[in-house]
Amino acid sequence: MNPTALSHENTSRTAKAGGLTLHYHEAGPAGPDAPDGPDAPVVIMLHGGGPGASGWSNFGANLPHFAARFRTLLVDQPCYGRSEAPEPDRDYFSFSARAVVALMDELGIARAHFIGNSLGGGTAARIALDHPGRIAKLLLMGPGGISLNLFSADPTEGIKRLFEFSLDPEPTRERMRTFLTTLVHDPALVTDALVEERFAQATDPAALLGSARMAASFARWPEDTMLWREAHRIACPVLLTWGREDRVNPVDGAFLALKAIPDARLHVFPRCGHWAQTEAADAFNRLATDFFSH
């Protein structure tokens, strides 16, 4: 498929994985001159949480860059996007990790590079811990679970705004805008169209149910989400990336993971919030491609 012609519709896929129906987007190198063709290395991207989140909303704009070189999958984690929203039977990171590994099995993917943003970073880190043979290299972007704030108070500004939207019996577009603004350094990126798109997704009855079930799993198994306690067991090469102005998972949360993970390095993007893939898209794309390619 021509990476420049990628759309939400023509990359959309579903698969049954581990008893769950998961939705994902897939694209990769095509044509006789494409590097590696059908044997291209695989990159799996796992989105962050928050109202209206999905694989496409997080990484759709990055897909053409990665699909030119890698077989690239943007996965809607359980309880998000068009994926099924069952009640987790364990902490969310473990629950989602199990589903993603099942999807890899279903698609015949033995090993992949991973990009995990925020909530997806926690899922990707759990895969690295519980299924180390399935991850080649791991890029974590302002990840949840694996970071521990050293200087910033909890809950952070972004988490407070997330709770305000999620716990409001009648969530509003204004609360959505306020939440989205905490994800970026430049508020101009929070357009009316983005607010409307995320609000429509977030207030869908299935999305509301999924969000409630995901949140309940964190409340039920809180200690199992403290992945920083196990970070020393992550054996694959890890690139930690952070926006210097991240107001959801502040950059001081990177330092314990940087110290604990045996093969870790850290890149900090200036003038950038929680969405490095958006605010620093070109630099982020180049950095990730170089990391996965060497």
Alpha carbons 12 and 23: distance in angstroms, whole number: 7
Is 8 annotated in the active site?
no
Q: Is the dihedral of CA 259, 263, 269, 270 positive or negative?
A: positive
Contact 92, 43 (CB under 8 A): no
Q: Which residues contact 142 (CB under 8 A, 6 or more apart)?
A: 48, 117, 118, 121, 241, 242, 243, 246, 248, 249, 274, 276
Q: Give the other-Cβ count within 10 Å of 13's Cβ.
A: 15
The strands making up 12-17's β-sheet, listed across from edge to edge, are 12-17, 20-27, 71-75, 42-46, 112-117, 135-141, 238-243, 264-269
Structure tokens at 35: 């590097």
Selecting among 65, 131, 274, 294, the annotated active-site residue is 274
Please identify every residue annotated as catalytic.
274
